[in-house]
Amino acid sequence: MNVHSLFDLSGKVAIVTGGGDGIGKGSCEILAQSGASIVVSDLMLDKAQAVADEIISNGGKAIAVACNVLKDEDLVNLVDMTVAKFGTVNILVNNAGGGGGGRENPFKVDRAYFERIFNFNVFSTWRLCQLVVPHMAKSGYGSIVNITSMGSINKSPNMSAYAASKAALNHMAANLAFDFGPMGVRINNVGPGATKTHALSTVLTPEIEEKMLAHSPIKRLGEVIDITGAVLYFAAPVSQWVSGQTLFVNGGGVQTLD
Residues labelled catalytic: 162
**68 touches ligand NAD by CB under 6 A:** yes
State the Cα–Cα distance between residues 156 and 163, nearest whole angstrom.
9
SS3 137: helix
For residue 23, the Cα-to-chain-centroid distance in whole angstroms is 7
Q: Does 96 bind ligand NAD (CB under 6 A)?
A: yes
| Nearer of residues 96 and 185 to ligand NAD, judged by Cβ | 96
Please choose, out of 66-74, 106-114, 170-178, 210-218, the segment that lies near ligand NAD by the rule CB under 6 A.
66-74
Interface mask (CB under 6 A) for ligand NAD, residues 113-142, using x and -?
Answer: ------------------------------
By C-beta, is 97 or 142 nearer to ligand NAD? Answer: 97
Strands 62-66 and 185-192: unpaired
Is residue 251 close enough to count as binding ligand NAD by CB under 6 A? no
Task: Name the minimum Å distance from CB 199 to ligand NAD.
Answer: 3
Which residues, 12 to 41, sit near ligand NAD by CB under 6 A? Answer: 17-18, 20-24
Pick from 49, 82, 143, 149 the residue near ligand NAD by CB under 6 A: 149
Residue 65 in the binding site for ligand NAD (CB under 6 A): no
Angle at 205 between CA 203 and CA 207, to 5 degrees: 135
43 is a site residue for ligand NAD (CB under 6 A): yes
- Rule CB under 6 A: is residue 250 a binding residue for ligand NAD? no
SS3 state of residue 76:
helix
Give yes or no for a contact between 145 and 91, defined as CB atoms under 8 angstroms apart.
yes
Q: How many CB atoms lie within 10 A of CB 219?
A: 9
**Which range, of 109-117, 177-185, 194-202, 233-241, touches ligand NAD by CB under 6 A?**
194-202
Q: How far is CA 206 from CA 52, 226, 243, 254, 256, in A?
A: 34, 21, 38, 17, 13
CB 21 within 8 A of CB 9: no
Please give the DSSP secondary-structure letter assigned to residue 223: P
Q: Where does this chain bind ligand NAD (CB under 6 A)? A: 17-18, 20-24, 42-44, 47, 67-70, 95-98, 147, 149, 192, 194-195, 197-200
